[in-house]
Amino acid sequence: MNTRISFKPTRLGLAAALWGLLATQSVQANPSYEYRALKKGLAVSSSSSGNPAAQLSSSSLAFGGVALGASEPRQVALTNTGGTSLAVSSVQTTGAGFSASTSCPALLTAGQSCLATVLFTPTSGGAYSGSLSWLTSLGQPLTVSLSGTGQDGQGALTANTSTDFGSVAVGQSATRSFTFTNNGATTLNGVYATLVGSGLALESNTCGTQASPLSVSAGSTCAMTVRYSPSAVGVVSGAELRVASSASNSPSSLALQATGTPSDPNHANVALFMSMDGTVGGGIATSADATGKAIISTGSPAAYSATSAFGQSAYFSTAAVGGDGGCVTSGTTTLEVARNSAFELDTSDYTLEMRVRPSGLSGYQGLLSNYESCTGVIRGWAFFLSGNRVVLNRANGADQVVTFSSSLTSNTWYHLALVKQGNTVSLYVNGVKDATVGTLTGDYVSTINANTRLRVGSVHTVSATGLVGHLDEIRMTRGVARYTANFTPNTTALTYP
């Protein structure tokens, strides 16, 4: 068995102490030991588990982007994976911006670990690189590569709560607040906020606009509040808040999430919706029903008017409609909706509502009607004014007439809501339930004549006269009694869906 030991110390100290320690080991049990004097006097390489050995937790540390003047720490662990103690002398770094410290003991026993902390503190913008060297009794330094980026005037855009506005009904709105922070050591100039996305708007903004950008000093912030007010149903695509500045990472941006939902939870039950909005003086558009049913005008029965509850209204200027009993395609001066079985209101619940402003209160003035008497048997329903009173006529061979108690006044806007629930029918005038409650008996469902269309502003009987006045926001809902107690009518325009 041959064992070669050489020791050439250059000075007194740790290496001499290690020599004394290692000389006490039983070299006979492991003839492959080799001891060589290097640098401070001693280095050990071994193929035996009885010797000290070292392992690092990482061979590289990446610090990413760090703002100027700030420090970012990272740690790396040294473990003695050998069978005897490992001497640890110091840690050193190379490369500007990096420094290191360690609390490791002078001797690391077998299986013991300790940490070195490396700080990255950039002083200028750009890429940095360096290394950490850990000196031990193994002789050859243990090294870790270091990298990072100095970011001059780094800007950070953050959401105070969330970037998601959630689901917001058309006609409603929601807000979210955001903060832009200058994390750098120098002032950011040319700061301004922009917003992309339908229905989104900057409600408040201290970050400046493209026309009037601002400056944000080091460590300071500016704030924005974004309001989402959907005008249509669906997901807003490509929504984003951006803040431009002189920062190296400009523009800072956040993707926003927002979805517009129907303002009316019963929108799927709506059979007719006419907002009556259009060019003042023009005829009622063939697309005036938002549910897609065709509008048919004969003899210029109505025109859009600026006198309205919301937006515009339909103004009916003549009472001479011309009755036809619903037996021909139209009267002489009528506004109609193409025939549809949805208008044949059955024994289920329903709600007919509208805004009406009668110019006068005499005789019969039709509001909505799906009524015919072509074969001598009256069928359907008619909702109309008789003098200053509101009337429902429901028929299937015989009339069932409900005349309500409320008295209307001319040239006054009213919200009328006719609600059928079960076998009872009620009228709400401006949200207040009329004293009269009608009881409907029997089933009046039967096939309406193929030529019968829904009339707006008139009824179908031979003696019928049309409304003289304004109609606005007509909505028919099947299968739903929308109002079952007094309520406050909408104060903004209804929307569909």
Q: Which two tokens stand for residue 474?
A: 């007509």
Query: How much is the pLDDT for 7?
Result: 47
Q: In the block, which residue shows the tokens 């037996």? A: 327
CA distance 406 to 433: 9
CA distance 68 to 96: 13
Query: How much is the pLDDT for 282?
Result: 95
Same domain? 146 vs 159: no
Residues whose CB is less than 8 angstroms from the CB of residue 309 and which lie 6 or more positions away in sequence, other chains included: 355, 357, 413, 415, 472, 473
422: left (phi over 0), alpha (psi -120 to 50) or beta: left
Residue where a domain terminates, one of 261, 291, 325: 261
Domain with 457 in it: what CATH number? Answer: 2.60.120.200
- Distances from the Cα of 310 to the Cα of 164, 278, 354, 474, angstroms: 32, 11, 12, 12
Residue 197 inside a domain? The answer is yes
Residues recorded for the chain: 497
Same domain? 205 vs 279: no
Residue 487 inside a domain? The answer is no
Residue 210 belongs to what domain range?
155-261
Q: Are the beta carbons of 358 and 313 closer than 8 angstroms?
A: no
Same domain? 61 vs 104: yes
Write the pLDDT tens digit of every residue in 382-441: 999 999 999 999 887 778 899 999 999 999 999 999 999 999 999 999 999 999 999 987
Query: How much is the pLDDT for 198?
Result: 95
Same domain? 217 vs 343: no
Same domain? 114 vs 163: no
E strands, 152-199, where? Answer: 155-159, 164-169, 174-182, 188-196
Residue 16 inside a domain? The answer is no
E strands, 275-398, where? Answer: 295-298, 302-305, 313-316, 334-337, 350-358, 364-372, 379-386, 389-396
Domain with 81 in it: what CATH number? Answer: 2.60.40.10
Q: In the block, which residue shows the tokens 């939870």? A: 265
Other CB atoms closer than 10 Å to residue 195's CB: what's the count?
15
Same domain? 286 vs 435: yes
Same domain? 190 vs 120: no
Which residues lie across from 112 on neighbouring strands?
none
CA distance 192 to 258: 23
Query: How much is the pLDDT for 153?
Result: 58
332: left (phi over 0), alpha (psi -120 to 50) or beta: alpha
DSSP labels for 369-434? EEEE-TTS--EEEEEEEETTEEEEEEEESSEEEEE-S----TT--EEEEEEEETTEEEEEETTEEE
Same domain? 114 vs 170: no
Q: Are the beta carbons of 347 and 488 closer than 8 angstroms?
A: no
Same domain? 450 vs 384: yes
Same domain? 374 vs 438: yes
Residue 250 inside a domain? The answer is yes
Number of domains within the chain: 3
Residue 22 inside a domain? The answer is no
Q: Are the beta carbons of 290 and 275 closer than 8 angstroms?
A: yes
Question: Residue 184: how many CA atoms within 13 Å on its side-chain side?
Answer: 25
Same domain? 422 vs 384: yes
Query: How much is the pLDDT for 445?
Result: 54
Residue 79 inside a domain? The answer is yes
Residue 198 inside a domain? The answer is yes
Residue 313 inside a domain? The answer is yes
Residues of the chain scoring pLDDT < 70: 1-50, 65, 67-68, 151-153, 320-332, 375-376, 442-448, 461-464
Instruction: Report the candidate in 116, 103, 121 with the shortest Cα–Cα distance to residue 66.
Output: 121
